[in-house]
Amino acid sequence: MKCSKCGREIPDDSNYCPYCGSRVGGRWEEFQVEAEGLVAKVKQLLREGNVRRIVIRNPEGETLLEIPVTIGVIGALIAPYLAALGAIAALVSNCTIAVERRE
């Protein structure tokens, strides 16, 4: 990824440019989902490909799970997160999925 201010190449998971200090984080979206659709929605978001981070929150706004998504690291490394999502879905009736997307 490149910094939009100075144009230098920076790591994909950066929130700030290490060279000029400008904010380079993506835009955030939120989705309200019921427990039964939690795993399916996260899988759908992962397939979209422009996701940097997924945060699962309970109805009170507390973070239950945060999934950092780096390019090319989906497959087997995401499996433990999906198992945790299944457990979370069993405990809550609905939740919020916050998604940080690449600009």
Whole-number Cα distances in Å, 29 to 26, 76, 99: 10, 26, 5
- Per-residue pLDDT at 72 exceeds 70: no
- CA distance linking residue 46 with residue 54, whole number of Å: 9
Q: What is the pLDDT of residue 27?
A: 79
Neighbour-count burial for 53-80, b at 16+ CB within 10 Å, e otherwise: bbbbbeeeeeebbebebeeeeeeeebee
Neighbours of 95 (CB within 10 A): 24
The whole-chain average pLDDT of the chain stands at 80
Say whether 61 sits in a helix, a strand or coil: coil
- Per-residue pLDDT at 101 exceeds 60: yes
pTM: predicted TM-score of the whole model, two decimal places: 0.66
- Per-residue pLDDT at 25 exceeds 80: no
- Per-residue pLDDT at 74 exceeds 70: no
5 band by pLDDT with thresholds 50, 70 and 90 = confident
